[in-house]
């Protein structure tokens, strides 16, 4: 079974691994007895993502990416293991969807002649104001 993210992007179940650990989040006394927090590990090598999407995903992941090419998502917001698992999957889907959108390329622009003129006029005016403040020495 695959986790369908978009039409062309699906992550196979073999690439995902769930680990359940004790949660620092809400849960009262239950938090000391039951492992409700979820660590979702996704092996990006076996995830089958297209190269540009994988590159953007690695950039977006930041410190959640290990040296071995695994994306680690920790979920411990909810009180139950099942809801934390759903939360981790939702966050993975959101991250991959954000990576699937290519950024709009920046178009270089030049400053207009009028804006250059305004800038130099302002600089000249500022320089004159500063010059007026200086003490003029009068030689007798």
Averaged over successive runs of 10 residues, the pLDDT of the chain (140 residues) comes to: 82 88 74 84 88 90 90 89 92 91 92 97 95 76
- Is the distance from CB of 36 to CB of 84 less than 8 angstroms? yes
Q: Which residue in the block uniquely carries the two structure tokens 């949660």?
A: 23
Closest CA to 84 of 41, 40, 44: 40
Task: Tell me if residue 53 falls in helix, strand or coil.
Answer: helix
pLDDT at 39: 92
pLDDT at 15: 86
For residue 128, the tally of other CB atoms under 10 A from its CB is 9
- Is the distance from CB of 96 to CB of 16 less than 8 angstroms? no
pLDDT at 139: 67
pLDDT at 25: 62
Considering the four listed CATH numbers 3.30.160.20, 3.90.180.10, 3.40.50.360, 3.40.50.620, the one that applies to the domain covering 2-100 is: 3.30.160.20
């Amino acid at each position: 079974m695959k986790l369908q993210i978009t039409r062309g992007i699906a992550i196979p179940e073999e690439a995902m691994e769930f680990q359940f650990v004790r949660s620092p989040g809400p849960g009262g006394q239950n938090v000391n007895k039951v492992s409700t927090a979820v660590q979702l590990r996704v092996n990006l090598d076996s995830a089958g993502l297209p190269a540009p999407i994988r590159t953007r995903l690695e950039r977006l992941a930041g410190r959640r990416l290990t040296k071995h090419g695994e994306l680690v998502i920790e979920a411990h917001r909810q009180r139950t293991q099942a809801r934390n698992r759903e939360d981790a999957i939702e966050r993975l889907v959101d991250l991959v969807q954000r990576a699937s959108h290519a950024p709009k390329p920046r178009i270089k622009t030049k400053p207009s002649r009028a804006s250059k003129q305004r800038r130099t006029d302002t600089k000249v005016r500022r320089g004159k104001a500063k010059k007026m403040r200086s003490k003029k020495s009068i030689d007798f």
